[in-house]
Structures are given as C-alpha cells and as structure tokens.
C-alpha cells in the first residue's frame, strides 16, 4: 500500500502544478461564482438557472480537468523520465497505475470540492430570495432540502468524474495522450445518451437484429453517465435519496472503475517505458 | 547478510547474467530497429563493470532490460539471482538514469524520503541516511532548493543520492558524470570506488572512456547492438607489442634525429612525439638523452594503450547509428 500512497501523493502535488488545469479551475470558479448573474436572464426560473449553471459548470469543468489530467498522468511520467526512477524501485506496475489514478483522482476531488464550495456560497447568498419567490409562486421548494440535494449532486459528480478519470488514464496507456483525450470525450458524450441507445435497441424501435445487437452492446458497455446528473430531479422535487439511488449509482461507478483499471493493468503491464 | 550469492561459476558469484539477450524495437510501418543482439554477459559481484559504446550502441537498452523497464524480444537475463520479470530484486538495486528527472515540487530531502519509503525505510534511520547521502553528494547545504530550480549537475548529484538510498548491492549508473564539473565528476568516481571497496557491484554505462579506464575492473564494448570486445582493463589495455614508450615534446631536430636512430618505432600525436623501444634500458637511456638535450619529457614506461585506442580499434570507422532492420 505504501508505494501506491507515495506515488499518489507525488501525483497529487504535481497535479496542482499544472498551469492549464489551474486555469480551468480559476475559470470554472469565476463562472460558478457569477452564476447568480444568469438568474436575471430568465425571470421566474431563477432557481433553475442557478442550479443549471452552477452544477452544470461543476460537471463540465470537472470533466475537462479529469480528461486533461488523466490523459497526461502516465505520458508525462514517461516523457519526463520520472517513471525510470520509480519502476526501477520495488514498485509494481499495478501499484504505479493505482497510485497515478488515485493521486489524479485526489486532485479532481479537490477541484470539485473548491467548485462545490463556491457554488454553495452563491446558493446560500441567493437562498433567501428563492424562499420569498417560492412563497409568491406557491412552489413547494424547501431550501433546507435543497442544500442536501446539492451535496448529493456534487457527490455523484465526483463519482462520475472517477469513471472519466479511469477511462482517460487507461486510454493514455494505449494511445497517445491527444487520441486518449479525444476517445475519453467521445465516451463521455456518448455515455450521456446511453439510455437513448438502450431504447433504440428495443425491437419496436429498430427492426434490424444486427443494429439491435450493436446498439444493445453500446448500451451495456458504455457508462451510464446520465444517472449522475440529478439537476432535473432537484428542480422537479423528485427526491434524490441516499439509499438506494445515490449508493447504487456510486456502487455502479466503483464497479465500472474497477473493471476499467483491471483493463488498464493488462495494457500497462505490456507497455515499455 | 543481504547479499545472496546465487550462481557460482568457478567459485565466482555473479550479480548479472544475460544469455543471448536480444531487443528489437518495432518502429512502425514494418520497420524494426536493433537495440541489442544476442548479448551474453556475466558480471561478477564486487566489481565495477563498464559498458562502453558509441551513441545508439545499445547501452541504455541493456540497462532498461535489466531493470524491467522494457522487455526482451528473446534471450534471458537474471539480476542478483532473479529473473528480470520479477520485481523483488529491485529492493537490492540502485539506478541512476542518464539525465535524471524528478518531481519538481520536491526538495532533496523530500525526494529521498519518497524514494526511501518505497523501500520500506522510515523514521530516524531514513532521516540519518538522507543527511549522509546529501553530504556525500555535496547537496546538504542546498537541501531546501526545489528540484525545479536545480542545475543539471545538482540533478545528477541528487540522482546519485537516490540511487544509494537503499544501500543497494548492485548499482546501475548511466553516464553518472554527465553534467558535472571536474570536481563533481571526481567525487562521483570516488563514490564508485568506495562502493566497490565495500563489496558492491557497479554496472557503469558511459561513453567517457577516460573516466571508465581508471575505475572499471572489466569492460564490454558494444557497437550497433553487438558485443565487440570484452575483458579486464588489464587485458584490453595491454599492448600486443610489449614495448616501452617514451613521449616527449619540444624536441629539436638534432635530438629527434638521434631518437629516430635509437627507437624501434616513432610516431607523432599532435605535437607529442612517441618513441617505442624493445626494452626498458633503451627507453631510459633515450629519456636521459632527451632530458639532457632540453626536450620536455612527458612519459617513460611500458607501452600501454588507452581505452580510447582500444575502443576506436574495436569499433572502427563503422557508422554509430543503430542498425536498421527490414522485417521479412
């Protein structure tokens, strides 16, 4: 465990030294911090705007950070030759891969936490206004309930990014980092529509059995990223409950990441550095 | 006793053994590059073993194979009695890569602490070891500097320290004096000799032959991935002609004429005149004559080749590029 922790710790601090990631984080915090401005664009739907812009920004910028950090973690080690002094020590390739992944994930958690805290501050400042508005419109929004739901949304975003990060790290072992980034973006965006592929695989929707097999396979292989997005549920007062929804979704993420990393090990154990 | 003697070949323990080790790089589009070809080595424990060769000769490829960073195309290799596919022998190995790079956010003690913990070291013994090593490589006073601010020489010094953190039985040094000033290079050579005196094995890769000559016990010369010559330094440097050599500068024409008459062979190396004699007495007589004539006497003694001469003779005028193979 110690080699994994050591590699993860070094990766975490190196992650914070990447200026372009810091740039993405600063920009994200500026957008989230000024999300209250967007509420004026759609009178009557201020809460929706705030939740959409705030939580949407955390997901989007978190995804950018996870992709760009994840696809650079191992290629940077190889390019800068820091990997030589690590793999020549009693560190197995599995420990190295896990250390890099967990260190990168810790950086992403920190980034998501900072973005989430910024959003909480903005939300807390606007909450009294929403409370008044809900009285006027007769809406049933409970502000106390809302804080909990936002926390659950951020937790789910974090686990969604854990999958994105895993795909990015493993793809970078197989492809060049640019190709790995393109691949990860592709999986992320197609994964947002996995339910759509599932629906298309239905015999009522698609006549061709071959097409149904292809669509069904895509549905089963791709991560179902849309289940991590609970903004609509928050805004329509559908309860986002810890059990079973959040725990089941988190469990799915853990299983998915484990499979992706196991695949990553198969590729990395054959990789020459 | 940490050292584990596994092979006994004529009562000699081996730290490294390779048998027909071959590495062919696939460079795409059906093309392949020869890294090394059928390399068979035996490195005895407790010696400084040199691997010399021009750029692209396969030195670094050999090191990477022995450290499990790349995988052989064919052949076998064992380090400290274990197959290179294992990881456990690495607990007894230290490695200094060429032009080492480290995590830039760390300073020297943090870096060594990180590497030390990978070997299961910790607490006061590790802190003591870190101080000893940083003093050894003359980095203790500059220990608070971040790696990002290091010069090449400082990286090299810390690289040596990290290679020694686990007090290894076997050290792989790839161009260890690269980027160091003459004093730093001398310090590293002294460290290598001290390690040998303590019974450690040092596997040294370099193209700086003048630096290898005084410290290596045995040497292998590679060119284009092939083993060209091998032997102990004594064997390699011994002149076939078994003659005595007098080297002189600033010699006048009359003295040169006398020297030409007496010497068996005379040659010029830039502004240095080298005269070869069949026996010791003749050589010393000529030396006395040269000194009396006011010439600047440089050396008198057995004719011993330099490693550079051996190297040039072995490698010849062949291209130093790695062999390009066209796959079937």
Asked whether the beta carbons of residue A88 and residue B117 sit closer than 8 angstroms, the reply is no
Tens-digit pLDDT profile for chain B (328 aa)?
334 444 444 556 899 999 999 999 998 888 999 999 999 999 999 999 999 988 889 999 999 999 999 999 999 999 999 999 999 999 999 999 988 889 998 999 999 999 999 999 999 999 999 999 999 999 999 999 999 999 988 999 999 999 999 999 999 999 998 878 888 888 889 999 999 999 999 999 988 887 888 899 999 999 889 999 898 888 887 765 568 889 999 999 999 999 999 998 888 887 889 898 888 889 999 999 999 999 999 989 888 777 777 777 777 655 444 333 333 3
Nearest Cβ partner of B97 from A13, A85, A90?
A85
Is B119 part of the contact surface with chain A (CB cutoff 8 Å)?
yes
A201 lies in some domain: no
In chain A, which ranges are continuous DSSP H helix?
A: 2-16, 19-33, 35-38, 46-79, 82-87, 93-137, 143-174, 177-191, 194-200, 209-221, 231-235, 247-268
Nearest Cβ partner of B114 from A10, A81, A84?
A10
Q: Closest by alpha carbon to B232, among B244, B222, B221? A: B221
Nearest Cβ partner of A88 from B93, B101, B105?
B93
List the beta bridge partners of residue B201.
B170
| CATH 3.40.50.300, chain B: domain bounds | 8-237
Interhelix angle A19-33/A93-137, rounded to 10 degrees, is: 10
Asked whether the beta carbons of residue B69 and residue A17 sit closer than 8 angstroms, the reply is no
Asked whether the beta carbons of residue A89 and residue B117 sit closer than 8 angstroms, the reply is no
Interface test with A, best of B32, B65, B69, B107 (most A CBs within 10 A): B69
Q: Closest by alpha carbon to B140, among B93, B107, B167? A: B107
Asked whether the beta carbons of residue A85 and residue B100 sit closer than 8 angstroms, the reply is yes
Exposure string (b/e) for B32-64, b if CB count within 10 Å is 16 or more? Answer: bbbbbbebebbbebbbbbbbbbbebbbbbbbbb
Asked whether the beta carbons of residue A272 and residue B103 sit closer than 8 angstroms, the reply is no
pLDDT at residue B320 in the model:
43
Distance CA B107, CA B146 (A): 4
Asked whether the beta carbons of residue B118 and residue A273 sit closer than 8 angstroms, the reply is no
What is the number of other CB atoms lying within 10 angstroms of the CB of residue A229? Answer: 16
List the beta bridge partners of residue B223.
B226
A205 lies in some domain: no
Asked whether the beta carbons of residue B95 and residue A3 sit closer than 8 angstroms, the reply is no
Residues 166-195 of B with CB under 8 A from A: 166, 172
Contact B285, B238 (CB under 8 A): no
Tell me if residue B51 falls in helix, strand or coil: strand
Distance CA A217, CA A100 (A): 30
**Which residues of chain B does A103 touch, with a Cβ-Cβ cutoff of 8 Å?**
none
Nearest residue on chain B to A5, judged by CA atoms?
Answer: B118
Domain that holds residue A33: 2-192+229-268
Q: Do the bridges between strand B272-277 and strand B8-9 make them parallel or antiparallel, or are there none, so unpaired?
A: unpaired
The CA distance from B273 to the nearest CA of chain A, in Å, is: 47
A273 lies in some domain: no
Asked whether the beta carbons of residue B103 and residue A82 sit closer than 8 angstroms, the reply is yes
pLDDT at residue B213 in the model:
84
The CA distance from A87 to the nearest CA of chain B, in Å, is: 7
A211 lies in some domain: no
Contact A243, A152 (CB under 8 A): no
Distance CA A103, CA A66 (A): 12
Q: Closest by alpha carbon to B66, among B181, B171, B154? A: B171
pLDDT at residue A36 in the model:
85
pTM score: 0.84
A24 lies in some domain: yes
Distance CA A50, CA A44 (A): 12
- CATH architecture classification, B8-237: 3-Layer(aba) Sandwich (3.40)
Q: Tokens 């026996």 map to which residue?
A: B279
Instruction: Report in angstroms the alpha-carbon separations of A70 from A155, A181, A188.
Output: 19, 9, 13
**Which residues of chain B does A13 touch, with a Cβ-Cβ cutoff of 8 Å?**
103, 105-106
Distance CA B160, CA B153 (A): 11
Distance CA B30, CA B44 (A): 39
Asked whether the beta carbons of residue B70 and residue A88 sit closer than 8 angstroms, the reply is no
Asked whether the beta carbons of residue A272 and residue B99 sit closer than 8 angstroms, the reply is no
Chain A positions contacting chain B at CB under 8 Å are: 2-3, 6, 9-10, 13-14, 16-17, 80-92, 270, 272-273
The CA distance from A79 to the nearest CA of chain B, in Å, is: 10
The CA distance from B116 to the nearest CA of chain A, in Å, is: 10
Asked whether the beta carbons of residue B119 and residue A90 sit closer than 8 angstroms, the reply is yes
Asked whether the beta carbons of residue A88 and residue B67 sit closer than 8 angstroms, the reply is yes
Is B120 part of the contact surface with chain A (CB cutoff 8 Å)?
yes
Nearest residue on chain A to B112, judged by CA atoms?
Answer: A85
Nearest Cβ partner of B101 from A2, A16, A81?
A81
Nearest residue on chain A to B69, judged by CA atoms?
Answer: A273
List the beta bridge partners of residue B205.
B51, B174
pLDDT at residue A46 in the model:
83
- A226 burial (CB, 10 Å; 0-12 / 13-18 / 19+) is middle
Asked whether the beta carbons of residue B69 and residue A85 sit closer than 8 angstroms, the reply is no
**Which residues of chain A does B93 touch, with a Cβ-Cβ cutoff of 8 Å?**
88
A144 lies in some domain: yes
Contact A61, A27 (CB under 8 A): yes
**Which residues of chain B does A10 touch, with a Cβ-Cβ cutoff of 8 Å?**
103, 106, 114
* ipTM > 0.85, yes or no: no
Kindly give, in sequence order, each residue whose CB lies less than 8 Å from that of residue B39, ignoring residues fewer than 6 positions away: B18, B20, B21, B22, B58, B62, B75, B222, B225, B227
Contact B148, B180 (CB under 8 A): no
- List chain A residues with pLDDT less than 70: 131-144
pLDDT at residue B265 in the model:
86
Residues 43-82 of B with CB under 8 A from A: 67-71
Region of B43 please: left (phi>0), alpha (psi -120 to 50) or beta. beta
Q: pLDDT tens digits, residue range A30-62?
A: 999 998 888 888 777 888 889 999 999 999 999
**Protein fold of B244-308:** Alpha-Beta Plaits (3.30.70)
Asked whether the beta carbons of residue A87 and residue B69 sit closer than 8 angstroms, the reply is yes
A169 lies in some domain: yes
- If one counts the domains in chain A, the total is 1
């Amino acid at each position: 465990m110690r080699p994994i922790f050591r590699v993860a710790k070094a990766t975490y601090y190196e992650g914070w030294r990447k200026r372009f990631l810091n740039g993405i984080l600063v920009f994200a915090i500026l957008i989230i911090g000024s999300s209250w401005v967007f509420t004026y664009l759609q009178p009557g739907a201020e809460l929706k705007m705030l939740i959409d812009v705030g939580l949407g920004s955390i997901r989007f910028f978190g995804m950018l950070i996870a992709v760009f950090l994840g696809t650079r973690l191992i290629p940077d080690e190889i390019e800068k030759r820091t990997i030589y002094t690590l793999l020549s020590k009693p560190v197995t390739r599995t420990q190295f891969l896990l250390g890099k992944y967990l260190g990168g994930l810790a950086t992403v958690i920190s980034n998501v936490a900072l973005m989430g805290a910024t959003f909480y501050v903005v939300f807390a400042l606007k909450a009294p206004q929403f409370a008044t508005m809900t009285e006027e419109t007769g809406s049933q929004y409970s502000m106390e309930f809302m804080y909990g739901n936002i926390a659950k949304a951020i937790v789910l975003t974090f686990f969604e990014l854990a999958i994105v990060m895993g795909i990015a790290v493993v793809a970078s072992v197989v492809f060049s980092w640019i190709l790995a980034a393109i691949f990860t973006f592709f999986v992320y965006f197609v994964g947002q529509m996995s339910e759509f592929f599932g629906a298309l695989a239905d015999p009522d929707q698609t006549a061709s059995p071959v097409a149904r097999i292809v669509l069904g396979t895509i549905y089963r292989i791709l991560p179902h990223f849309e289940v991590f997005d609970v903004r609509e549920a928050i805004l329509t007062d559908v309860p986002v409950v810890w059990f079973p929804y959040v725990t089941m979704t988190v469990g799915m993420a853990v299983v998915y990441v484990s499979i992706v990393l196991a695949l990553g090990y198969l590729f990395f154990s054959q990789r020459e550095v | 006793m940490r050292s584990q003697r596994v092979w006994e070949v004529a009562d000699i323990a081996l730290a490294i053994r390779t048998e027909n080790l071959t590495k062919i790089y696939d460079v795409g589009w059906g093309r392949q590059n020869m890294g090394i070809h059928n390399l068979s080595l035996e490195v005895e424990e407790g010696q400084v073993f040199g691997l010399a060769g021009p750029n692209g000769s396969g030195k670094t490829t050999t090191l990477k194979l022995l450290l499990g960073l790349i995988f052989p195309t064919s052949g076998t290799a064992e380090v400290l009695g274990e197959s290179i596919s294992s990881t456990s022998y690495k607990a007894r190995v230290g490695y200094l890569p060429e032009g080492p790079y480290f995590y830039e956010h760390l300073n020297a003690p943090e870096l060594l602490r990180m590497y030390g913990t990978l070997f299961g070291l910790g607490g006061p013994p590790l802190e003591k070891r870190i101080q000893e090593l940083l003093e050894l490589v003359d980095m203790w006073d500059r220990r608070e500097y971040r790696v990002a601010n290091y010069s090449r020489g400082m990286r090299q010094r810390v690289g040596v320290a990290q290679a020694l953190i686990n007090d290894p039985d076997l050290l792989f040094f790839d161009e260890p004096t690269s980027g160091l000033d003459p004093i730093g290079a001398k310090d590293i050579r002294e460290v290598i000799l001290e390690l040998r005196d303590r019974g450690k094995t040092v596997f040294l890769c370099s193209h700086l032959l003048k630096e290898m000559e005084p410290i290596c016990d045995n040497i292998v010369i590679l060119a284009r991935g092939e083993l060209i010559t091998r032997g102990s330094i004594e064997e390699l440097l011994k002149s076939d002609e078994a003659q005595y050599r007098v080297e002189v500068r600033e010699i006048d024409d009359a003295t040169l004429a006398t020297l030409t008459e007496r010497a068996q062979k005379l040659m010029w190396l830039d502004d240095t005149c080298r005269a070869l004699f069949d026996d010791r007495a003749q050589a010393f007589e000529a030396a006395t004559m040269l000194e009396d004539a006011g010439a600047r006497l440089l050396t008198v003694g057995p004719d011993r080749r330099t490693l550079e001469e051996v190297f040039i003779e072995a490698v010849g005028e062949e291209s130093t590029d790695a062999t390009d193979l066209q796959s079937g």
